């Protein structure tokens, strides 16, 4: 029977990430660790006792074969909070099989297999997601990380290129393009990465992500003027809170550049650095790209 509460909608409150984070936060707040004998455990407070009773009840239902998928998800939360990786895997395997469209469950299983040093198993789980949806951004990101860790850079390039073509004109094209540019930077292909970011800015002019990514690239090159201009453009499409953070980032970059030009101890020769010709042209080029 399919799991009715596990909607593929990314906003679902039952996607594994908020579920796991909530469980981890709850366990951390309570200072509770499952799986320890009472002889080695301090006296439980009422909240901890309630959690342990709930865990025991769920474990009993699982053994009886009467635990619903929803209850198994609750038990998964508790096992993850206690660090019981093997137990979490044992729950996730059948849950993932029964709900093949719930990619978050399968990717969580892949992550746990990596924690068990089972790279082959992790790749198998990720590929199951990509077989259903070859342009699923989170699966592509997890696949890239795994393959790069294994030294299979060529496989990542091939997978991302195919995904970029398949996602043209779709919302997934932006996160996939960002992954491509990140890989290009890793390969030392800075001009290609800049071109990818510029293309993404032209295709998604009101999304701050490619603007910020290009700003980081420029900042890494020492092009502070161009980087700051890009941050200010990104701020236009960000929330007020994010905009405040971006102001701080841009200010820190400018201060860092000023300090590099002030070798004296009393900073008497501090001067605001003028943007170089390359920075100015780069800023103009990015402005044109954003209007495209």
Question: 261-290 pLDDT, tens per residue?
Answer: 444 433 334 333 444 454 444 444 444 344
The confidence score (pLDDT) of residue 246 equals 85
Report the distance separating Cα 16 and Cα 20, nearest Å: 6
The confidence score (pLDDT) of residue 34 equals 37
The confidence score (pLDDT) of residue 129 equals 96
**Angle 242-230-272 (CA atoms, 0-180°, nearest 5)?**
100
Question: In terms of DSSP H, where are the helices of the chain?
Answer: 16-30, 46-64, 69-81, 85-98, 103-115, 119-132, 137-149, 153-166, 173-186, 190-203, 208-221, 224-236, 240-260, 277-291
Terminal-to-terminal C-alpha distance of the chain: 49
Of the given ranges (83-92, 165-174, 243-252), which has the lowest mean pLDDT?
A: 243-252
Phi, psi of 109 (to 5 degrees): -60, -40
The confidence score (pLDDT) of residue 133 equals 96
User: Mean pLDDT across the stretch 199-213?
Assistant: 94
The confidence score (pLDDT) of residue 120 equals 96
The confidence score (pLDDT) of residue 43 equals 67
Task: Provide the whole-model pTM.
Answer: 0.68
Please provide the average confidence, as pLDDT, over all residues in the chain. 78
The confidence score (pLDDT) of residue 27 equals 37
For residue 222, pLDDT beyond 80: yes
The confidence score (pLDDT) of residue 49 equals 76
Phi-psi region for residue 269, left (φ > 0), alpha (ψ -120 to 50) or beta? alpha
121 falls in which pLDDT band (50, 70, 90)?
A: very high
The confidence score (pLDDT) of residue 210 equals 94
Question: 243-266 pLDDT, tens per residue?
Answer: 888 888 888 887 765 555 444 433
pLDDT greater at residue 44 or residue 227: 227
For residue 189, pLDDT beyond 70: yes
The confidence score (pLDDT) of residue 36 equals 41
The confidence score (pLDDT) of residue 32 equals 34
Percent of the chain at pLDDT > 90 equals: 50
């Amino acid at each position: 029977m399919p799991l009715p509460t596990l909607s593929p909608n990314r906003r679902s409150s039952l996607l594994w990430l908020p579920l796991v984070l909530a469980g981890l936060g709850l366990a951390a707040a309570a200072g509770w660790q499952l799986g320890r004998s009472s002889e080695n455990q301090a006296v439980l407070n009422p909240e901890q006792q309630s959690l342990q009773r709930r865990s025991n009840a769920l474990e009993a239902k699982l053994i009886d074969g009467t635990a619903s998928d929803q209850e198994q998800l609750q038990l998964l939360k508790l096992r993850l909070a206690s660090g019981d990786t093997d137990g979490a895997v044992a729950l996730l395997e059948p849950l993932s099989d029964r709900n093949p469209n719930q990619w978050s469950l399968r990717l969580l299983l892949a992550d746990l297999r990596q924690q068990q040093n089972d790279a082959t198993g992790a790749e198998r789980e990720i590929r199951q997601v990509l077989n259903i949806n070859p342009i699923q951004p989170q699966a592509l990101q997890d696949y890239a990380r795994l393959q790069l860790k294994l030294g299979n850079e060529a496989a990542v390039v091939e997978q991302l290129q195919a995904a970029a073509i398949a996602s043209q004109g779709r919302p997934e094209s932006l996160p996939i393009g960002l992954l491509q540019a990140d890989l290009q930077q890793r390969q030392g292909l800075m001009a290609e990465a800049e071109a990818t970011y510029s293309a993404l800015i032209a295709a998604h002019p009101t999304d701050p992500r490619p603007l910020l990514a290009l700003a980081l690239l420029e900042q890494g090159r020492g092009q502070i003027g161009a980087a700051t201009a890009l941050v200010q453009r990104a701020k236009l499409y960000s929330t007020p809170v994010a905009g405040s953070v971006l102001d701080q980032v841009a200010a820190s970059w400018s201060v860092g550049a000023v300090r590099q030009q002030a070798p004296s101890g009393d900073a008497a020769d501090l001067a605001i650095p003028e943007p170089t010709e390359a920075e100015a042209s780069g800023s103009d080029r990015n402005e044109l790209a954003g209007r495209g």
